[in-house]
């Protein structure tokens, strides 16, 4: 077993797998220049009984929600994002996907992943185009809405996996 790494990984080597049919996540079509917003938030309720000896409220954990994740990439000759957007427009909840974002080390080995479940695209922004020319790249942005966020370690085990819910 190798010793634990004590210095942080760079934020520049990662894969985004949108689970698109026919698109390899390691290809240029699956390559995104920016990924932001991976997160989860717990709501807390404040509670206190009138007979508590100490004058403070208790914090009771409630529901949690997953933050929206934003992906950005240079426009390439691919319709994979539009295909998914169209699928969501036609099929609604049936078009939900699982999206996996994997951080990699300097050698290209997987370090850890964030698995988003019940994902649909909620916003698409196309490029800003300017006729003056220059060195800017035409970029597109996709904002994803997810129902669940799981952490997957380098051993491929999901941590804090929630029980299976009854809703679709």
pLDDT tens digits along 60-84: 999 999 999 999 999 988 888 999 9
Residue-wise pLDDT tens digits, 95-135 = 999 999 999 999 999 999 999 999 999 999 999 998 887 78
Over pLDDT 90: what percentage of the chain?
64
List all residues 6 or more positions away from 113 whose beta carbon is below 8 Å from its beta carbon.
100, 101, 102, 103, 151, 152
* pLDDT attached to residue 1: 38
């Amino acid at each position: 077993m190798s010793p634990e790494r004590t210095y942080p990984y760079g934020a520049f080597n990662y894969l985004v797998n949108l689970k698109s049919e026919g698109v390899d996540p390691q290809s240029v079509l699956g390559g995104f220049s920016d990924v932001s917003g991976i997160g989860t938030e717990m709501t807390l309720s404040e509670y206190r009984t009138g007979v508590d000896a100490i004058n403070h409220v208790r914090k009771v954990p409630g529901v949690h929600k997953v933050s929206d994740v934003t992906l950005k990439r240079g426009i390439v000759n691919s319709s994979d994002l539009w295909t998914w957007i169209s699928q969501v427009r036609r099929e609604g909840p049936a078009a939900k996907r699982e999206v996996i974002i994997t951080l990699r080390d300097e050698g290209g080995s997987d370090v850890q992943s964030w698995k988003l479940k019940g994902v649909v695209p909620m916003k698409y922004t196309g490029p800003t185009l300017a006729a003056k020319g220059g060195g800017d790249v035409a970029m597109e942005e996709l904002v994803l809405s997810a129902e669940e966020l799981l952490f997957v370690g380098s051993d491929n085990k999901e941590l804090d996996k929630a029980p299976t819910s009854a809703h679709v």
